[in-house]
Amino acid sequence: MNTISLCMIVKNEEKVLARCLDCLKDLVDEMIIVDTGSTDATKDIARKYTDKIYDFPCRRLFQNCLKRRT
């Protein structure tokens, strides 16, 4: 059986993250949140939905973050 994963790259999205995840929680099998350096409550909100939260600090333009490999 196939599963559907939600993967979001976020930064300082405390104002909209809960509403977004509430809309999607019944449509996906797992949620993966990649935080690029939030300084607000974004990660605290994400923890209410999933324990799959990863830090990926990015100090450059967003396009450069996507090119970076770990």
Query: What is the Rg, in whole angstroms, of the alpha carbon atoms belonging to the chain?
Result: 13
* pLDDT tens readout for residues 31-69: 999 999 999 999 999 999 999 999 988 766 555 565 555
How much is the pLDDT for 1?
76
Q: Angle at Cα 31 formed by Cα 28 and Cα 39, nearest 5°? A: 145
Distance of CA 47 to the CA centre of its chain: 10
Residue 48 to residues 5, 21, 33, 55, 59: CA-CA distances in angstroms?
17, 10, 12, 17, 27
The residues spanned by each domain of the chain are 5-67
Mean pLDDT (whole number) for 4-26: 96
Closest residue by Cα to residue 24 from 2, 51, 54, 4: 4
How much is the pLDDT for 57?
83
